[in-house]
């Protein structure tokens, strides 16, 4: 949601193209995510399991309503000159803005995967997820690392928000619904490799589109969350994963 608004104000205020605003929005959200994790979430991270979830809910309430006061509750759209442009590809009409958004999202997902698999920091993140004390013994500073991880997550969510603003309408309340969807996608894909979200996302997207077309648009949530529950019951590791 904040990424979408960052993009909106960069576009309307500075005339920056949404795709050029994307790195700026990511940088802003990274800083915010880093600070939140380092100075708030790190304080409760080893507390009772449920507290991290509740505290992020509290933060979501704060941010949503601050956004409502700052940006107003009006619907906004980011409308670059090519928003309506499309081209014909073997008989299928392809909207340009959506295709670009798809490409960028794909690139970011692959980028994250390569980052987690092949860089020093990526390895440190995965090691900490497996065993905090072990990682610490090998010289990882968990305070910094958790903050970094959350910052990267926030930056990617910000990028997604920017793209969302290009293809859809934004308001201060879009965040919580998208959080639910991202839980579903990550779990359906499987949590052991970050690239699995690609499979989860494509699968869920296609299933939702098919449901809307053949059963009715009001049934998409029945099907997508139904699949989430089924996957959790039958195969809690996700469709592609090995470990829960």
Partner 1 sequence: VKFSTKLALAGVGIALVATVPWWGSAVLVQFGINALILATLAQSWNIIGGYTGYPSFGNSVFYGLGGYGVAIAMVQYGLPFPAGLAIGISLAVGFAILLGLPVLRLRGHYFAIATLGLAEVMTAIVSNLEIAGRNVGLILPLVKGDALFFELSLILLVVTTLAVMWISRSRFGFGLIAIRENEQAAAVMGVNTTLYKILAFALCSVFSAVAGGIHAYWITYLDPGSAFDVALNVKMIIMAVFGGPGTIFGPVLGAFVLSAISEILATKVTSLASVFFGIVIVAAIVFMPRGFADLVRRFRQSGWRYFQENIRTYRV
Among 180, 202, 205, 206, binds partner 1 (CB under 8 A): 180
Structure tokens at 103: 């490409």
Among 64, 86, 168, 182, binds partner 1 (CB under 8 A): 64
Considering CB under 8 A, how many residues would be counted as binding partner 1? 46
Considering the complex, state which of residue 99 and residue 186 has its C-beta at the smaller distance from partner 1: 186
Stretch of 88-96, 98-106, 202-210, 225-233 lying at the interface with partner 1 (CB under 8 A): 225-233
The verdict on 79 binding partner 1 (CB under 8 A) reads no
Considering the complex, state which of residue 124 and residue 159 has its C-beta at the smaller distance from partner 1: 124
Considering the complex, state which of residue 47 and residue 103 has its C-beta at the smaller distance from partner 1: 47
Stretch of 59-67, 77-85, 92-100, 102-110 lying at the interface with partner 1 (CB under 8 A): 59-67
Among 20, 54, 106, 202, binds partner 1 (CB under 8 A): 54
The verdict on 73 binding partner 1 (CB under 8 A) reads no
Q: Give the interface with partner 1 as residue ranges (CB under 8 A).
A: 40, 42-51, 53-55, 57-62, 64-66, 69, 132, 142-143, 146, 180, 183-184, 187, 216, 218-222, 225-226, 228-229, 232-233, 236, 244
């Amino acid at each position: 949601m904040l990424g979408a608004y960052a993009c909106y104000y960069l576009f309307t205020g500075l005339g920056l193209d949404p795709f050029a605003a994307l790195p700026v929005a990511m940088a802003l959200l990274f800083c915010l995510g880093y600070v939140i994790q380092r100075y708030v979430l790190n304080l409760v991270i080893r507390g009772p399991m449920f507290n991290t979830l509740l505290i992020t809910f509290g933060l979501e309430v704060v941010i949503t309503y601050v956004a409502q006061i700052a940006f107003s509750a009006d619907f906004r759209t980011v409308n670059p000159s090519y928003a309506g442009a499309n081209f014909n590809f073997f008989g299928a009409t392809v909207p340009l803005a959506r295709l670009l958004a798809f490409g960028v999202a794909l690139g970011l997902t692959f980028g994250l995967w390569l980052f987690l698999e092949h860089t020093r920091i990526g390895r440190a993140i995965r090691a900490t997820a497996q065993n905090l004390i072990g990682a610490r013994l090998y010289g990882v500073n968990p305070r910094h690392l958790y903050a970094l991880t959350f910052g990267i997550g926030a930056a990617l969510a910000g990028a997604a928000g920017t793209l969302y603003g290009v293809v859809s309408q934004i308001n201060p309340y879009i965040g919580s619904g998208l959080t639910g969807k991202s839980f579903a996608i990550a779990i359906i894909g499987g949590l052991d490799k970050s690239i699995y979200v690609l499979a989860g996302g494509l699968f869920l997207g296609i299933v939702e589109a098919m449901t809307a077309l053949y059963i009715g648009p009001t049934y998409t949530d029945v099907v997508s969350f139904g699949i989430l529950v089924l996957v959790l019951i039958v195969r809690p590791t996700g469709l592609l994963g090995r470990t829960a």
